[in-house]
Structure 1
Amino acid sequence: MHSKALFMSDKTKEISITVELDDNDVPEKIDWNATDKAGEGIANCKAMLLSMWDPKKKDTLRLDLWTKEMTKEEMKIFFHQTLVTMADTLQNATEEEAMAEDMRDFTSYFAEKMEIME
């Protein structure tokens, strides 16, 4: 599986994602690279959540992948950090400070219930 996305502004940037699958189509390895990524070369990750907005359908397209090596504990931390980032993005994109703060309160609750460090 290979995915590429182009972002246009005053210049073009590219993000590439390569997923190696086993015989049952379960991800074994996820590599990614970006034209403006810190450091050179391809980076490896164990999980990714990719959401894309379809303006015609007014719907979110999702691609959620994780490798066999991703532990449950790592997944809990990954989700927590993703939720925190989503609260920050909501505030930056919409200026909905109160709702973003409510989301941050939830992330604290989430971390407590999942028994992970914040």
Structure 2
Amino acid sequence: MSEKQTNIQFNVALDENQIPSTITWKASDNDETGACDAAFLTIWDSNEKNTLRIDLWTKDMTIDDMKIFFHQMMLSMSDTYKRATGDEAVSKDMKEFAFAMGEKMEILKKGED
């Protein structure tokens, strides 16, 4: 039996200063195209033991939205880390850091989840 394959495509329109003005994405197993203001893609190179990144955001992305985006990414990374490693203690530490970061960025009130 052959493996199912899917493609995810990002299209980035650049303004005259080479700054992203729009970002859209499409998955081959879904007919819809999505628009977004930011996309951070991280790739692990196991041969080099190195992380490669593509960090994109549009010129219309607000600082407040970027703060929320980072907070939510930290929470997602905590969940992913727990699923990938089974390490609940470190996952909990990551989550606590994400909430402290949210308070410091003033997107969460103290003690708010």
| TM-score, with length taken from structure 2 | 0.90
2:95 corresponds to: 104
Q: Structure 1 CA distance, aligned partners of 2:107 and 2:3?
A: 41
What are the residue-to-residue correspondences of 1:25-40 with 2, within 5 Å?
25-37=18-30, 40=31
Query: Who is 1:62 aligned against?
Result: 53
Q: Is 1:50 the counterpart of 2:41 in the alignment?
A: yes
Aligned to 1:6: none
Give TM-score scaled by structure 1 length: 0.86
Letter in 1 for 2:5: T
2:63 aligned residue: 72
Q: Which runs of 5+ in 1 are unaligned?
A: 1-8
Corresponding residue SS for 2:7: strand
Aligned position for 2:85: 94
Structure richer in strand, relative to its length: 1
Paired residue total: 108
Q: Map Cα deviations across residues 50-86 of structure 1 (whole Å, 9 max, x no partner).
A: 0001111110000001001000000000000000000
Verify: 1:23 aligned to 2:20, yes or no.
no
Amino acid at match of 2:14: L
Distance between the aligned counterparts of 1:89 and 1:78, measured in 2?
A: 16
SS at match of 1:63: strand
Measure, in 1, the Cα distance between the counterparts of 2:32 and 2:86.
Answer: 35
2: distance between equivalents of 1:89 and 1:36?
23
Gaps of 5+ in 2: none
- 1:2-31 Cα offsets, whole Å, 9 max, x none, are xxxxxxx83001100000011111000000
Matched, 1:14 2:11: no
